[in-house]
Chain A
Amino acid sequence: MSDEKKPQERVGVYVCHCGTNIAGVVNVAEVSEWAGREMAKEGVVVARDYKFMCSSLGQELIQKDIKEHGLTRVVVAACSPHLHEKTFRTACNGGGLNPYLCELVSIREQVSWVHTDKSAATEKAKAIVAGGVRRVVHHEPLEPLHVPIHPATLVVGGGIAGIQAALEIAEAGYPVYLVEREPTIGGHMAQFDKTFPTLDCSACILTPKMVDAGNHPNITLLTYSEVEKVDGYVGNFVVTIRKRARSVNEELCTGCGICWEKCPKKVIDDKFEAGLGYRKAVYVPFPQAVPKYPVIDRENCTYYQKGTCKACEKFCPTGAIDFAQEDQVMTVEVGNILLATGWQLFDARKIPNYGYGRLANVFTSLEFERLSNAAGPTGGNIVLRDGKTVPKSVAIVHCVGSRDKNYNNYCSAICCMQSLKFAHLVKEKTGATVYNFYIDIRTPGKGYDEFYQRLIEEGTLFVRGKVAEITDAARNPGEEGKLIVQVEDTLVGKQRRIPVDMVILSAGLEPQPDAKEVAKKFGISCSADGFYIERHPKLDPVATMTEGIYLAGCVQGPKDIPSSVAQGAAAAARIVGKIQQKEIALEPVRATVNQEQCSGCRICNNLCPFNAILFHEDRMVSEVNPALCQGCGTCVAACPAGAISGTGFSNEQILSQIEGLLMLNLSSKEAAAA
């Protein structure tokens, strides 16, 4: 194309074996020889293959060639650019070449790992290399854009992962906004009785952390609040938060508790008590709630529904009740965002043959946690739904809604250990016979398998088999008045019917019901299951593909408390590291308008979702604001005058890549025609 005008570039081609990952399918030596021979007229002066290009020796090879062969462009054929683009750009930079003059083309994810026909794979690899070589000669030296990072961080979700992260960041000396949808922080962990395998009291280890988060001078606690909108980009997010009206003036409230004592309206608490207990219309979810201020549940409050009552207002000694309070909408500026929005319990009603919701004494795992909790509705007594009968036999069903093609394919990771914990608690408190119905026992954590062994010694019974049905239809007198668990015992190879008094369904973890909308709000990707996708499943489990947005806890996938805490702390460390750099280098992929060529048609103006294109009325030309441009290139494609060009993805680069990708093809077709 414009090759005549430009001085001939000197291109180096490096084909990676990646051990046998690439070399096992692609004949890498043939690809590099071919590139050196056939692509010489395209500017290739060196073509090599090497065992591991990403190793320091591989990188040094490039740097040496840049110096010795005077390379002006580099093409590396290896793995996906999402993995090692940065590595090779940095290597080129170290060799004195502008990092953006390097192109990484994927012959692993796109060739060797997905194809089995070796000769076809080798031909495709050649085509991809040719595309890269044709493209790279049109690259231009670029400088990354530097933007400052706002030192504040937004943490969404006040469960254990979010609390841990908020505390770590605050301790490092940076401001944190901790946003929680419920009236208190604490999350699911606050509901639990004991934690496995150490049997620590869950509240005893959690509440000090909650208090720390509530009191920390660097943490602004925004409970009963939700994020409405996120604008901006890494380093400079502007977040709109709706702080819902508590109907309680936080300045005046002392948290004395007289209001909920006097409130005449009882409401079934289906959140914190999992439907087993009651709360008042004005309430704190549990005594150790942080913050200590109650909220008035307007949907159930007699005053809001009928216009009279105001008992709480009459008795409040500080006059803190404020029925006229309105939602507050605020905007905060933050540099980074951490999502720790957690999970919800699988709805066991979806499995009708297990009878939850129909058979009174079938409980979910969360209900059992509340039953067993000394602060729960029964004061920690494990009793049947009638509130007094102590069960003599209990069945615990594993994998409810998990590892099941009809519901969720994945393993919820915590249910085995949770079920073992339940078995221990039932045995300890009631002396009942306990059956565990499992598919496989998975105990891969510190002290986990030891706990399993302990349970076996304690005399808990284990039946290997997926429960088919739980029923109250007795077939013989021994089954009268019992719940019968119908199961195939796969170790014995027989169908069994086991009558019990109580069944606990160890239900799986699911993403929050609004996970997809939240993902959209923050511009991150969500897997088909609804869990958020981390930047790399092995090497970067805390970041997302969107710069400046991080994950911690079950929002990324089911995990136990130690893993959630570790991930929260890891994300915090990453965020603190970013803040301390004070500025961040962004990819210089931006659109620019050539003002000489712009006809002022304004077609591009309305295409930009970031309002980055402004129109100069006086000169009748459009201009792109590089600080707002995100580099999608839609305006570039739309400009009828070809006046807009996109750095990194210019027309010349893409069109040349197309030519390169089809070069081999064409020559073979022409040869066939001739």
Chain B
Amino acid sequence: MSEETKSFEPTIIGFTCNWCSYRAADMAGTARMKYAPNVRLIRLMCSGRLDPTFVFKAFANGADGVLVSGCHPGDCHYINQNYKMLRRFHLMKRVLAQMGIEPERIKLLWASAAEGAIFAEEVNKFVEQVRALGPLNWHPGNGAASTVHTPMSAEEVPA
């Protein structure tokens, strides 16, 4: 590891579902488990709500890594919507690779509401994984963001 990557603090956006993984994060908090401060969470009702655009947007706006987490397969509050996210996830990973983003910058984590310890541990591992990759530097200024930004607002999409 070079000196530069050692001092590098990655920023990671984490998407969590309301029922399992967000509550796992809550539980990590209630139990005062410590993990790296590099992850910032966004609560969705279900991991099935994860629009790949959210992930591209996060990378475009300066995130170095994206964590996607939901209920364990079979435990989804909405029956099976995490499986639908899973399908998109694999597709999304390939698209990201085609865009030149290392697949190690995105991580899928199943965490139940009781798994605060697992959540904290996996976040720490992922932060180290992204730190080792170094900064992504894929943000406005190098043109990448504008291409992603355009289809963002729903109003601009033709019927």
Nearest B-chain residue to A109, judged by Cβ: B29
Which single member of B113, B120, B154 contacts A645 (CB below 8 Å)?
A: B154
Whether the pair B77, A116 counts as a contact (CB closer than 8 A) is no
Whether the pair B37, A654 counts as a contact (CB closer than 8 A) is no
Whether the pair B54, A658 counts as a contact (CB closer than 8 A) is yes
Whether the pair B29, A113 counts as a contact (CB closer than 8 A) is yes
Q: Is A357 an interface residue (CB 8 A)?
A: no
Bitwise interface map of B from 42 to 76 toward A, beta carbon under 8 Å scored 1, else 0: 11111011111110011001110000000000110
Q: Is A533 an interface residue (CB 8 A)?
A: yes
Tally chain B residues at the interface, Cβ within 8 Å.
62
Whether the pair B33, A114 counts as a contact (CB closer than 8 A) is yes
Which single member of A2, A599, A632, A648 contacts B153 (CB below 8 Å)?
A: A2
Q: How far is the CB of A359 from chain B (nearest CB, A)?
A: 37
A278 to B14, CA, bound (A): 59
A212 to B62, CA, bound (A): 66
Q: Is B6 an interface residue (CB 8 A)?
A: no
Nearest B-chain residue to A666, judged by Cβ: B62
Residues of A within 8 A of B44 (CB): 633, 649, 654
Q: How extensive is the interface on chain A, given as a class?
A: 35 or more
Whether the pair B152, A1 counts as a contact (CB closer than 8 A) is yes
Whether the pair A80, B35 counts as a contact (CB closer than 8 A) is no
- Count chain B CB atoms within 10 A of each CB in A630, A648, A662, A669 and give the residue with the most: A662
Which single member of B41, B74, B159 contacts A110 (CB below 8 Å)?
A: B41
Nearest B-chain residue to A125, judged by Cβ: B37
Residues of B within 8 A of A634 (CB): 46, 48-49, 78, 81, 84-85
A216 to B39, CA, bound (A): 56
Bitwise interface map of A from 603 to 642 toward B, beta carbon under 8 Å scored 1, else 0: 0000101100000000000000000001111101110011
- Count chain A CB atoms within 10 A of each CB in B46, B50, B54, B62 and give the residue with the most: B62
A662 to B38, CA, bound (A): 11
Q: Is A512 an interface residue (CB 8 A)?
A: no
Whether the pair B84, A109 counts as a contact (CB closer than 8 A) is no
Whether the pair B50, A115 counts as a contact (CB closer than 8 A) is no
Q: Is A673 an interface residue (CB 8 A)?
A: yes
Q: How far is the CB of A592 from chain B (nearest CB, A)?
A: 12
Residues on A facing B (Cβ under 8 Å): 1-2, 80-82, 106, 108-111, 113-117, 120-121, 123-124, 127-128, 131, 520, 523, 525-528, 533, 545-546, 589, 596-597, 599, 607, 609-610, 630-634, 636-638, 641-643, 645-646, 648-649, 651-652, 654-655, 657-659, 661-662, 665-666, 669-670, 673
Please list 27 pairs of residues, one from A and one from B, whose beta carbons are closer than 8 Å in the complex, sorted by A's number. A82-B23, A106-B41, A109-B28, A111-B37, A113-B30, A113-B32, A114-B120, A523-B77, A533-B114, A545-B23, A546-B77, A607-B84, A609-B80, A610-B78, A630-B78, A633-B48, A634-B78, A636-B49, A636-B51, A637-B48, A642-B154, A651-B153, A662-B13, A662-B40, A662-B62, A666-B61, A666-B62
Known A651-B153, A655-B53; further 8 A-B contacts with Cβ < 8 A: A106-B26, A109-B28, A120-B9, A609-B78, A634-B78, A642-B154, A658-B42, A665-B62
